[in-house]
Amino acid sequence: MTTQDLIKGLNEDLAAELGTVIRYTYQAGKCFGLLGAELRDLLGKDAQDELGHAAFLTDVILDLGGEPTTTPKPFEKPTDLKAMIELNLAMEAQDVKNYLAHANLAEQLGLPELKLKLEDLAADEAGHARELRRLLKGL
């Protein structure tokens, strides 16, 4: 594995984070009613968190000599709350998997600080998924 492989993976993570910011902002606007208000609040808070992830990834990619992507990962646009939550759960689970794989790559390349930070991002995404699962149980 090379630094270029890591940069490629981090750019995939960055595209996912950019897509999540847009997806959560879009979905928050589509939320109505009592349950929708709670989801809207959660999505708004989590979108800001994801934006912080994107800023970190941008810096790391540049520090490693890469060019950060500006293209967000595309996403589906379900119209009901349950489908939105299920989509977000699936995408958060994929993000956790990707961050852990890239943390492993960072460790192989002798980048312990990056390894730990990517593991923290994975844990943060797992926390988002936990919040979404709790909302899903209430539907």
Range of the domain at 82: 3-137
| Total domains, the chain | 1
Taking only Cα atoms into account, the Rg of the chain, rounded to an integer number of angstroms, comes to: 15
In this predicted structure, what is the pLDDT of residue 49?
A: 94
Tens-digit pLDDT profile for residues 18-33: 999 999 999 999 998 8
Tokens of 133: 């699962």
Question: How does 2-40 read in b/e, with b if 16+ C-beta sit within 10 Å?
Answer: eeeebbebbbbbbbbbbbbbbbbeebbebbeeeebeebb
**Is the pLDDT at 57 greater than 90, yes or no?**
yes
DSSP letter string, 17-30: HHHHHHHHHHHHHT
Q: What is the CATH number of the domain that holds 116?
A: 1.20.1260.10
